[in-house]
Structure 1
Amino acid sequence: MQVSVETTSPIERRITIQVPAAEIDEAVSARLKDTAKNVRLNGFRQGRVPMAVVEKRYGPSVRNDVVGEVMRERYVRAITEESLNPAGYPSIDANVNEAGKDLEFVAIMEIYPEVELASIEGTSVERPVVDVTDADVEEMIETLRKQNADWQEVERAASDGDQVKIDFQGYIDDEPFEGGSAEGHELVLGSNSFIPGFEGQLEGAKAGEDKTISVTFPDDYQAEQLAGKEATFKVKVHQISAQVLPEIDAAFIERFGVEGGNETEFRAEVKKNMNREALQAVDNRVKQQVLDALKAANDISVPSALVQQETDGMKRQAAQQFGLGEDFDVSQLPNELFEEQAKGRVQVGLLLAEVIKQNELEASDDEIKAKVEELAGQYQDPQEVVDYYMSNDQLKTQVKSAILEEKAVAQLLEQTQVAEVEMTYQEALAAAQQQAEQGEEENADEQASA
């Protein structure tokens, strides 16, 4: 077998492989002899069909089978001998495939990139310092009350915060448009869940009243055919309901797992959860800054096969998130919705893998168990969660990966200059969310300019 490897890009290799004709022809001949033992043809006994007849009828298909097997086997042997690390499956095509001639085929493959990590030394990183105050706790409890509120019908005009039950039909240029109508829709005024300007024009409306509302769709509206268009909605108001907040009593408190309904314990638990959420927001903000710096310093090529794998995973997550069902065919979701973010994730994953390798980072069983116990603390029966995770190798591997990623980020953080910045609880959460969204937008801009 002769092998030549051509570098066609930093991550693509073109491998040309030649196999002596004698090897292929002998293998085809042997396979035809085996086939002849079981051939049944009219006018011949089983196993007595002349080889010329067997070869004429079965020769092409047998040769295709043999050549396919040889190409796969020799491809594996070639990448092993050449120490190539494939990322995904190759495309394999035969250039020469004729009896009596050496078989020649070409395998085009992507490999994992060779990463030479550039330092992020001197990068500035902001670390929020967050103090969850009693006022923050009161605001959170008020939010919990609103989330568990009831609605009570009232005989008055609608105001901000009320729920209105409406029928509506939307028109553009006096023509109804698709998706612009509903019956019995319950809308909370001030929720900003409708087109800007729609909800405000329903304030002051009463049950039984007909309203005509004029709005303009935002220029960046998701339905491109409606973006920037002026629309009119004819609305029928059926019912006005006011929000009735639950009292902070034992029944309300026990909904959140505080047995006995003790208010002091409840407030302590709320504050504990908020502190955990704030710490997570801080960690995420710091981590995102480190990863952004790592990507900026290390522009690496990414195998398309890995991007596709990540894209497929994100599609499945999206289908699950939106409740599309296990039978939903995720291939219906366009790759374009996920590819840019998927590429960014793959880049970061490859870079972090190199950080872990270079620094010989490990995660012990004790560290894995400690992390699982930390995660389990958010559930009502922590020990049950711990037992479930520790008995599942796949889940343990996921936890191990998370620990190694944390260690890699911590290693990178040592190269940076960290400045502490005081933030409120809400500011910390908003900043972490904004930075995550900004990272996704920057990925999209990089893809657009590529």
Structure 2
Amino acid sequence: MTETLTEGLKRKLEIVVPASELDSRLSARLEDLKGRVRLNGFRPGKVPVAHLRRLYGKATMAEIVQELLNENARKTLEERGERAALQPSFDLPEDEGEANEILTGKKDLAYTMSYEVLPKFALGDFRGIKIERPIVDVTEAEVDERLQQLAKDSRPYEAKEGAAEDGDRLTISYLGKIDGEPFEGGADENAFVVIGSGRFIPGFEEQLLGATAGEERVLSVTFPENYGAANLAGKAATFDVTVKEVASPKDAEIDEEFAKRFGIESLDKLKEALRDQLVSQFGAATRQKVKRQLLDALDEKHQFELPPTMVEQEFNNIWGQVEQDMQRSGRSFEDENTTEETAKADYRKIAERRVRLGLVLSEIGEQAKVQVTDEEVQRALVDRIRQFPGQEQQVYEFYKNNPDALASLRAPIFEEKVVDYLLELADVTDKTVSKDELLAEDEDEKAA
């Protein structure tokens, strides 16, 4: 083994595995295979190894080479006392003739292993970080407001004769077309439209004013420039609509029976449930604000060299999402008062911050012996599976067979546990704020 590059966090090693070791491993593997393979014309366990070598030698040697790469990488890192930032990469002989000699055990395997090491850094003093925790006291007025909104959202409708008015609910079937051709996702046989709700494309609901049950109309609309489906954004469309029913809203009586409609035994219990929802919602927002302050403080206390490939991967993930969002919304960098070059520089800083904080949190968690249990990962997996109704088995198999995917469930649990550990050591001061103050989100928070 020869080290050919030590530059910052980058390492490159030349490694040679003698042909004798390759051939020895191949012989042992074929000998083991001899007792298990079944070939026509040979009794079990009596297939000559030379015959097996002709049939399976190259494929088996390819497996051995892959195992050796991983085995040598693990041993090398252990011996050097290094931790790779990402899986090492291997440069193998590309010449077909040379590769064939290696796979037949006639030539040494010489290859290059390249990797980046995790940086070694001293942790800044993270004890006593000052945190101002914004707290919202849930008032009766806020509970009543949520109750009134629930009553409005769940109010009953009653079929009526005559023309549709603002606030009425129409049951319709529709078929959407662009340039006279139906488009995917543009049809429904039993859709509810509440006029004035603003839940449909601008102009759609308004054109149903005055409609009556049984009436057919053709609506002309234009999809917004920032519409979620990029293939429809900004395009003119028509909708062939048949009105099946017109219904007017009725005021919901907020009483014991109203609560029972939601499977709750009494109105007081419903108010308790709504209060708990608000407490949970405000609590999550408080947690986010506190975590942001904590991460900002940690970021200020740590500056060290970052593994370039980790930063590049994080940047690519972020930038890919930015491009998708801009394509979906139909907006440009000029619309955001910036340029692509400036935006990339800004997002690269965010990628660097994420990588740096990830390494800092990991180091703190390791020193504090923070552990994530298998039960916690299993609960996270169950929650993830529930997000894909009808595909539960496929999602389960995906995570079961992909260690990296399973690790992606473990990572956020670990991070939150480290944050909890740090908050126990922080100097936290509570501050009562309004709901609007708590839920306000500035641009820095969005970026973070």
TM-score by length of 1: 0.62
Q: In 1, are the aligned partners of 2:169 and 2:193 still within 8 Å (CA)?
A: yes
How far has the Cα of 1:165 moved from its partner? 1.3
Q: Which residue of 2 aligns with 1:319?
A: none
Using the alignment, how far apart are the partners of 1:253 and 1:27 within structure 2?
72
Q: Which residue of 2 aligns with 1:14?
A: 12
How far has the Cα of 1:81 moved from its partner? 0.6
Using the alignment, how far apart are the partners of 1:258 and 1:36 within structure 2?
68
Using the alignment, how far apart are the partners of 1:294 and 1:36 within structure 2?
59
In 2 relative to 1, CA 187–265 (structure 1 residues): closer, same or farther, beyond 3 Å?
Answer: closer
- Partner SS state of residue 303, structure 1: helix
In 2 relative to 1, CA 118–163 (structure 1 residues): closer, same or farther, beyond 3 Å?
Answer: farther
Q: Which residue of 2 aligns with 1:374?
A: none
Q: Which residue of 1 aligns with 2:289?
A: 285
How far has the Cα of 1:138 moved from its partner? 1.2
Using the alignment, how far apart are the partners of 2:130 and 2:221 within structure 1?
45
Aligned partner of 2:434 among 415, 418, 423: 423
1:405 paired with 2:419, answer yes
Using the alignment, how far apart are the partners of 2:119 and 2:259 within structure 1?
54
How far has the Cα of 1:186 moved from its partner? 1.2
Using the alignment, how far apart are the partners of 2:288 and 2:42 within structure 1?
77
Q: Which runs of 5+ in 2 are unaligned?
A: 322-346, 377-406
TM-score by length of 2: 0.63
1:230 paired with 2:236, answer yes
Using the alignment, how far apart are the partners of 2:295 and 2:136 within structure 1?
22
How far has the Cα of 1:357 moved from its partner? 4.3
How far has the Cα of 1:194 moved from its partner? 1.3
Q: In 2, are the aligned partners of 1:281 and 1:428 still within 8 Å (CA)?
A: no
Q: In 1, are the aligned partners of 2:126 and 2:422 still within 8 Å (CA)?
A: no
1:354 paired with 2:363, answer yes
Q: Which residue of 1 aligns with 2:167?
A: 161
Aligned partner of 1:303 among 307, 310, 313: 310
Q: Which residue of 2 aligns with 1:195?
A: 201
In 2 relative to 1, CA 269–6 (structure 1 residues): closer, same or farther, beyond 3 Å?
Answer: same
Q: In 1, are the aligned partners of 2:311 and 2:351 still within 8 Å (CA)?
A: no
In 2 relative to 1, CA 24–121 (structure 1 residues): closer, same or farther, beyond 3 Å?
Answer: closer
- Partner SS state of residue 227, structure 2: coil
Query: 1:358-397 CA distances to partner (integer Å, 9 max, x unpaired)?
Result: 6x375899xx9xxxxxxxxxxxxxxxxxxxxxxxxx9999
The aligned runs of 1:82-161 (5 Å cut-off) are: 82-86=80-84, 89-95=87-93, 98=102, 101-109=107-115, 111-114=117-120, 127-161=133-167
Q: Which residue of 2 aligns with 1:387?
A: none
Using the alignment, how far apart are the partners of 1:199 and 1:109 within structure 2?
59
Query: 1:386-438 CA distances to partner (integer Å, 9 max, x unpaired)?
Result: xxxxxxxx999987764432233565x65x9x8957323xx25642xx46x97
Q: Which residue of 1 aligns with 2:389?
A: none
- Partner SS state of residue 164, structure 2: coil
In 2 relative to 1, CA 250–26 (structure 1 residues): closer, same or farther, beyond 3 Å?
Answer: closer
- Partner SS state of residue 433, structure 2: strand
In 2 relative to 1, CA 205–342 (structure 1 residues): closer, same or farther, beyond 3 Å?
Answer: farther
Q: In 1, are the aligned partners of 2:35 and 2:44 still within 8 Å (CA)?
A: no
Using the alignment, how far apart are the partners of 2:143 and 2:44 within structure 1?
90
How far has the Cα of 1:78 moved from its partner? 1.2
Q: Which residue of 1 aligns with 2:219?
A: 213
- Percent same amino acid among aligned pairs? 32
Using the alignment, how far apart are the partners of 1:36 and 1:265 within structure 2?
71
Letter matched to residue 155 of structure 1: E
Aligned partner of 1:185 among 169, 187, 191: 191
Using the alignment, how far apart are the partners of 1:244 and 1:20 within structure 2?
85
How far has the Cα of 1:161 moved from its partner? 3.1
In 2 relative to 1, CA 67–130 (structure 1 residues): closer, same or farther, beyond 3 Å?
Answer: closer
Q: In 2, are the aligned partners of 1:8 and 1:14 still within 8 Å (CA)?
A: no
Moved more, 37-46 or 215-224: 37-46
Q: Which residue of 2 aligns with 1:274?
A: 278
Q: Which runs of 5+ in 1 are unaligned?
A: 315-338, 369-393, 444-450
How far has the Cα of 1:124 moved from its partner? 10
Query: 1:98-142 CA distances to partner (integer Å, 9 max, x unpaired)?
Result: 456543223344554545567899999875442333321211111
How far has the Cα of 1:37 moved from its partner? 8.8
How far has the Cα of 1:199 moved from its partner? 1.9
Using the alignment, how far apart are the partners of 1:291 and 1:215 within structure 2?
46
Letter matched to residue 6 of structure 1: L
Question: Aligned Cα RMSD in Å?
Answer: 5.2
Letter matched to residue 422 of structure 1: V
Aligned partner of 1:242 among 240, 243, 248: 248
Using the alignment, how far apart are the partners of 2:107 and 2:63 within structure 1?
17
In 2 relative to 1, CA 87–273 (structure 1 residues): closer, same or farther, beyond 3 Å?
Answer: same
Q: Which residue of 2 aligns with 1:373?
A: none
Using the alignment, how far apart are the partners of 2:365 and 2:177 within structure 1?
58
In 2 relative to 1, CA 93–183 (structure 1 residues): closer, same or farther, beyond 3 Å?
Answer: same
Letter matched to residue 408 of structure 1: L
Using the alignment, how far apart are the partners of 2:278 and 2:246 within structure 1?
34
